[in-house]
């Protein structure tokens, strides 16, 4: 998720762009850049935060009344100066900024290379801006038509703004799958990923719809067209939200925004990596080491906190689908216990931040003993990503809330693809089973949307438990790690003590805790262990425990037993964590809010634990 801004009008563009980029840093901040048109095209770009970019522009000629700017959250190519946006076309006449992922950029790049284009960066954006230039030349057409023709050729998601050196009175913007808003001033226009860079100048905005582009002119006129070249008119909306509210996407907290982003970021994490129709999975980082991974006698998954919980799900997935032994270890334990680890082992290191000290140390130990390290991170170019031999990035976008939510679900998404790919390569799952699971995986974002619609019901349940002093979370199979994760969510943001347990383990001790003051959350969607879960629920009910049950939609049996039932869409059992975790995230969020806690920055916690 990157941040883009553009300006055309009668004011100095530079301060508007820089201030706008700072407003968007929450969307991405591994590099930043601007392009200004003041007789000639001036491009300034730098790895790091916007403040680094400002240092580069100090003393430079930055007076212009038209320009574009970008803060990057890398998806293709390391976060460095060269990969920072804007990207110029080969002739230098076009500058482009882009938020999104062009899935077929590699194919397009090969075609352009054969036509003599030379690329300087690893980005998909540089490919797109040169595709537009090539089409403009080949079709001998204007920029507007070249943009439309090019965008009809690309597969993926984009929000782009293009600055044309040969026309200082126009900007062209387009979107598909990534947000773009146009602020309308008095003979001036502001363009941005969201309204936060715009709202201090104008509250009148127009939101582009998918597969639309806008031609924005200095004379105060603008035209919106579809990629089918049909002119559209959009209602001008008057913004009511506060600036802070906009940065949170209209949500009260980043954590809630990130819970609600899960459908789109899971879709982003799948994009270009699988095809249910054709039955393929393509995880770039895996291919190069596929032989070694297939010969591995054991996988060791190491991580901390929420990432450890997604690692536990990986154990079920990989042993279930690929029939390879998996051990899951807390990184902080693994690194100090002199583990048996060697060249026949593959270590999967999972980390949202990519900077967790214990996980990094665990990797270094395993590397020293010749194990292969496969990293799953959310931050491109992070220490753990760089320390790994190979890896895959979750495309969750920046996760600002300290309590990890969308990172967890995108980690589980990637781990599911890894297990499926291994199963396919080893022949331990049939093609038909693979395709059935991939089709269902494609459906998961829609099913999570359905669960998110239960937010009001979950909020009502939260109100009845906000004063609880303890919670138990119980699950079996794939839902056991979800029980652990649900408990962690509650305790880290509401400060209520909560424990996750395998449901069957309850009678080996925790059942002594059950009474009318003990809320017990059951994850009861498992088809394979359903009757056993029902028995566990009856055991708790018999001891007056207060039961909240997450069940498959239409489940009537548990509805008669539980005090509160949250019905979620049924899915493949191996995919159920992606569904069952969502009510638990919302339950924790609402209880914490009702207790007056700071959900985005809970006490004593840091977003990234870079110390031991």
Catalytic residues: 2, 607
CB 5 within 8 A of CB 68: yes
* Rounded-to-5 percentages of helix, strand, coil across the chain: 40, 25, 35
Nearest to ligand AGP of 385, 521 (CB atom): 385
Please list the alpha-helical segments (H only) found in 3-152: 13-23, 50-57, 105-114, 124-138, 143-151
Window of 269-277, 345-353, 551-559, 587-595 that interacts with ligand AGP by CB under 6 A? 345-353
Residue 68 CB-half CA count within 13 A: 31
Q: Is 356 in the site for ligand AGP (CB under 6 A)?
A: yes
Provide, rounded to whole angstroms, the least separation between the CB of residue 8 and ligand AGP: 40
| Residue 309 beta carbon to ligand AGP: minimum distance, rounded to whole angstroms | 8
Residue 394 as a binder of ligand AGP (CB under 6 A): the answer is: no
Distance CA 253, CA 248 (A): 6
User: Which C-beta is closer to ligand AGP: that of 118 or that of 611?
Assistant: 611
Among residues 66, 182, 402, 417, which is the contact residue for ligand AGP, using CB under 6 A? 402
Q: Is 388 in the site for ligand AGP (CB under 6 A)?
A: no
For 464-519, give the DSSP string.
Answer: HHTT-SEEEEEE-TTHHHHHHHHHHHHHHHH--EEEEEEGGGGGGTGGGG-STT-E
Q: How long a stretch of residues is the chain?
A: 612
Q: Cα separation of 262 and 21, whole Å?
A: 25
Q: Establish if 609 lies at the interface with ligand AGP (CB under 6 A).
A: yes
If the CB atoms of residues 140 and 604 are measured against ligand AGP, the closer one turns out to be 604
Stretch of residues binding ligand AGP (CB under 6 A), selected from 136-144, 189-197, 246-254, 304-312: 304-312
Report the b/e string of 221-239 with b at 16+ CB within 10 A: ebebbebeeeeeeeeeeeb
Contact between 307 and ligand AGP by CB under 6 A: the answer reads yes
Residue 608 binds ligand AGP, judged by CB under 6 A: yes
**Residue 550 phi/psi, 5° resolution?**
-95, 115
**Which residue's CB is nearer to ligand AGP, number 432 or number 604?**
604
Q: Does 404 bind ligand AGP (CB under 6 A)?
A: yes
**Contacts (Cβ under 8 Å, ≥6 apart) of 207:** 179, 180, 181, 182, 234, 237
Q: Which residue's CB comes closest to ligand AGP?
A: 305
Q: Does 259 bind ligand AGP (CB under 6 A)?
A: no
Task: Give the range of 145-153, 193-201, 250-258, 400-408 binding ligand AGP by CB under 6 A.
Answer: 400-408
Among residue numbers 446 through 505, which ones bind ligand AGP (CB under 6 A)? 492
**DSSP-derived pairing of the beta strands 181-184 and 189-192:** antiparallel
Q: Does 383 bind ligand AGP (CB under 6 A)?
A: no
Closest approach, Cβ 593 to ligand AGP, in A, equals: 16
314 to 320, 526, 593: CA distances (angstroms) = 9, 17, 31
Q: Under the criterion CB under 6 A, does residue 526 sit at the interface with ligand AGP?
A: no
Q: Which residues pair with 97 in a beta bridge?
A: 161
In whole angstroms, how close is the CB of 225 to ligand AGP at the nearest point?
43
Q: Is 534 in the site for ligand AGP (CB under 6 A)?
A: no
Among residues 211 and 608, whose Cβ is nearest to ligand AGP?
Answer: 608
Interface with ligand AGP (CB under 6 A), residue from 42, 80, 359, 410: 359
User: In angstroms, how far is CA 273 from the centroid of its own chain?
Assistant: 15
Residue pair 183/16 in contact (Cβ under 8 Å)? The answer is no
Report the nearest approach of ligand AGP to the CB of residue 304 (Å). Answer: 4
Shortest Å, Cβ 84 to ligand AGP: 24
Shortest distance (Å) from residue 489 CB to ligand AGP: 7
| Residue 121 lies near ligand AGP (rule: CB under 6 A) | no
DSSP 177: B
Burial class (CB in 10 A: 0-12, 13-18, 19+), 110: exposed
Residue that has been written with the tokens 């009148």 in this structure: 204
Residues that bind ligand AGP (CB under 6 A): 304-307, 351-353, 356, 359, 402-404, 492, 608-609
């Amino acid at each position: 998720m990157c941040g883009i801004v553009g300006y055309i009008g009668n004011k100095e563009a530079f301060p508007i762009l820089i201030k706008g980029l700072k407003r968007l840093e929450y969307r991405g901040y591994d590099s930043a850049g601007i392009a200004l048109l003041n007789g000639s095209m001036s491009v300034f770009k730098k790895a790091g935060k916007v403040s680094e970019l400002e240092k580069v522009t100090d003393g430079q000629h930055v007076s212009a009344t038209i320009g574009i700017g970008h803060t990057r959250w890398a998806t293709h190519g390391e976060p460095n100066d060269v990969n920072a946006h804007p990207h110029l076309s080969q002739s230098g006449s076009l500058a482009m900024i882009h938020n999104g992922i062009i899935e077929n950029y590699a194919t397009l790049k090969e075609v352009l290379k054969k036509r003599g284009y030379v690329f300087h960066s690893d980005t998909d954006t540089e490919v797109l801006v040169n595709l537009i230039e090539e089409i403009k030349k080949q079709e001998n057409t204007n920029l507007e038509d070249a943009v439309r023709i090019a965008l009809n050729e690309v597969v993926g998601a984009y929000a782009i703004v293009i600055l044309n050196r040969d026309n200082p009175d126009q900007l062209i913007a387009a979107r598909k799958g990534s947000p773009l808003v146009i602020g309308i001033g008095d003979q001036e226009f502001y363009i941005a990923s969201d309204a936060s860079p715009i709202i201090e100048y104008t509250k009148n905005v127009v939101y582009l719809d998918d597969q639309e582009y806008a031609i924005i002119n200095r004379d105060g006129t603008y035209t919106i067209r579809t990629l089918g070249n049909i002119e559209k008119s959009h209602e001008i909306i008057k913004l009511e939200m506060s600036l802070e509210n906009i940065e949170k996407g209209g949500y009260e907290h980043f954590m809630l925004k990130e819970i609600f982003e899960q459908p789109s970021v899971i879709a982003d994490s799948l994009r270009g990596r699988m095809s249910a129709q054709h039955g393929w999975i393509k995880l770039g980082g895996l291919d190069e080491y596929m032989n070694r991974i297939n010969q591995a006698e054991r996988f060791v998954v190491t991580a901390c906190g929420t990432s450890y919980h997604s690692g536990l799900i990986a154990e079920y997935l990989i042993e279930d689908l690929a029939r390879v032994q998996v051990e899951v270890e807390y990184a902080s334990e693994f690194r100090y216990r002199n583990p048996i680890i060697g060249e026949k082992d593959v270590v999967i290191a999972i980390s949202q931040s990519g900077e967790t000290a214990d996980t990094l140390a665990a990797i270094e130990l395993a590397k020293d003993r010749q194990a292969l390290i496969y990293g799953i991170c959310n931050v491109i170019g992070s220490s753990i990503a760089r320390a790994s031999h190979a890896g895959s990035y979750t495309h969750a976008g920046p996760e600002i809330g300290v309590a990890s939510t969308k990172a967890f679900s995108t980690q589980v998404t990637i781990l599911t693809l890894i297990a499926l790919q291994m199963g396919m390569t080893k022949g331990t799952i049939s093609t038909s089973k693979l395709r059935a699971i991939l089709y269902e995986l494609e459906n998961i974002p829609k099913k999570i949307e359905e669960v998110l619609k239960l937010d009001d019901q979950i909020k009502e349940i939260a109100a009845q438990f906000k004063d609880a002093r303890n919670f138990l979370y119980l699950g079996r199979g794939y839902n056991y790690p979800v029980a652990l994760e649900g408990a962690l969510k509650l305790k880290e943001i509401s400060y209520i003590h909560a424990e996750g347990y395998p449901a069957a383990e309850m009678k080996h001790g925790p059942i002594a805790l059950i009474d009318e003051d003990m809320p017990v959350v059951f994850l009861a969607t498992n088809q394979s262990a359903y009757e056993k879960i029902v028995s566990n629920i009856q055991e708790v009910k018999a001891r007056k425990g207060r039961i909240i049950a997450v069940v498959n939609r239409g489940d009537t049996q548990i509805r008669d037993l539980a005090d509160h039932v949250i019905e979620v869409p049924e899915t493949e059992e191996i995919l159920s964590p992606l569904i069952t975790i969502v009510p638990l995230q919302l339950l924790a969020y609402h209880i914490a809010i009702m207790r007056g806690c700071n959900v985005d920055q809970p006490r004593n916690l840091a977003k990234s634990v870079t110390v031991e």
